[in-house]
Amino acid sequence: MQEPHVIYEDNDFLAINKPAGMLVDQVRALGKLLPEHREETLAGWLEKKIPSAKLVHRLDKDTSGIILAAKTPAYFDYFKLLFRERLIKKTYLALVAGKFKKKTGVINAPIGIKQGMIRHTTHEPRRPTEAITEYKVVGEFIADEKPISLLEVYPKTGRTHQIRVHLNSIHRPVVGDPLYGGISVSTLGASRQMLHAQSLEFILKDGGRIKLEANAPDDFNRIVNHLAAASRNAS
């Protein structure tokens, strides 16, 4: 697993490119904390690097990409306000199974826990919460005679597993997603969900606007390049 690295830092906050496979913080499962050592998480890594900094939001373990951390209480509260009021533009890259007739779309479907399971769902969920996801097709490929699409995804809300659940709800699951039905990509050199948090754009407290971008990791780029080459050869 790659190490996280800082892609932006000033006196108030920093942005980190989190590698796939790293938990943001410890989780409790079967009566114990996982991983056993907190320094193996992004929160533990940050605590050693900048003890005063606090992570503002989360990504799934196997989702790579950009995460903000505040270095001051004022900016921590400010970021929380921006996320709560939907004033941060979030862009993800996602490889998904299938092809789209329309190259842009909006998924507006409440999300909640599936009855008796740990999965989230849009189909008769318990305690449903509003969730909105926009997307745009930016690439189309063929692999083993099956269509695969590369999307830019813009979640307008921040529900647990939102992008993965919403794309699965329209029968376009994220490639490699073991929980929501994505096709395997192990033969292409990766075995995790192909989802990357690419950028965040927002207004700073002083009124300036900033866009922070995190490069996609090697496994993501390798698969996209492989799919592009295979599609060219097939045409």
Looking at the annotation, which residues are catalytic?
A: 60
Q: The tokens of 219 are what?
A: 């496994």
Return the DSSP state at 188.
Answer: G
- Rounded to 5°, angle at Cα 15 from 11 and 19: 150
Q: Distance between CA 147 and CA 163 in Å, rounded?
A: 19
Which residues on adjacent β-strands are paired with residue 93?
152, 196
Comparing CA positions, the residue from 111, 160, 112, 169 lying closest to residue 135 is 169
Supply φ then ψ for residue 169, to 5 degrees.
Answer: -65, -20
Q: The tokens of 145 are what?
A: 């005679």
Comparing CA positions, the residue from 167, 45, 34, 164 lying closest to residue 98 is 167
